[in-house]
Amino acid sequence: MIRLHDVTCGYGDNLPLRQFSCTLPNTGVVAISGASGSGKTTLLRLLLGRLPLLGGYIEGLAGLRFSVVFQEDRLLPWRTAAQNILLVNPAAPAEALLRDLGLEDAGSVYPPALSGGMQRRVAIARALAYPADVLLLDEPFKGLDDETRARVIARVRGAMPLTLLVTHDAEEAALLGAAETIQL
């Protein structure tokens, strides 16, 4: 389990997480919800070690591998969709992941030639290709129509032992199978 004890974290004088505590399970889906600026993305960045801990402590991170879908797709425009996936795991079944997400014809296409929703799905495929213990999803389904979103959620559900989903959408959390919601 990952345990956060009286954690304080933020940016300069802006500290969205102040003496925040919670325990995350080893498996399952946990939704993280709250108003803009409440610390949802800050929490993910803290778990990734991308922000310093300003107070409190965290237990249970040692040895964990994280895979992330950021709010931005962060694809390399000079690499094809398949090459973007293979960057994180050269042995990944890139074509199968693309097919699972409805992108069977996109493997050799460069990101600038893909729609926003297609780029989003390539970013999700890349995250699924990395052999991680924890999948961090920061508003991952934005820009997807309902049918595509349902297909992607079905593929993401259960892909990693633990999934943390930042979302403003309670329906997304329910569809992904969130057993718990942390309100920030």
**Cα–Cα distance for residue pair 159/124, rounded to 1 Å:** 11
pLDDT at 10: 87
Q: pLDDT class for 5, splitting at 50, 70, 90? A: very high
Q: What pTM, to 2 d.p., does this model score?
A: 0.95
pLDDT digits (tens, 9 = 90+) for 30-63: 999 999 989 999 999 999 999 999 999 999 999 9
CA-nearest of 13, 47, 35 to 134 is 47
**Cα–Cα distance for residue pair 133/143, rounded to 1 Å:** 26
**Cα–Cα distance for residue pair 174/16, rounded to 1 Å:** 26
pLDDT for 183 beyond 90 = yes
pLDDT at 114: 98
Cβ-based neighbour number of residue 162 at 10 Å: 20
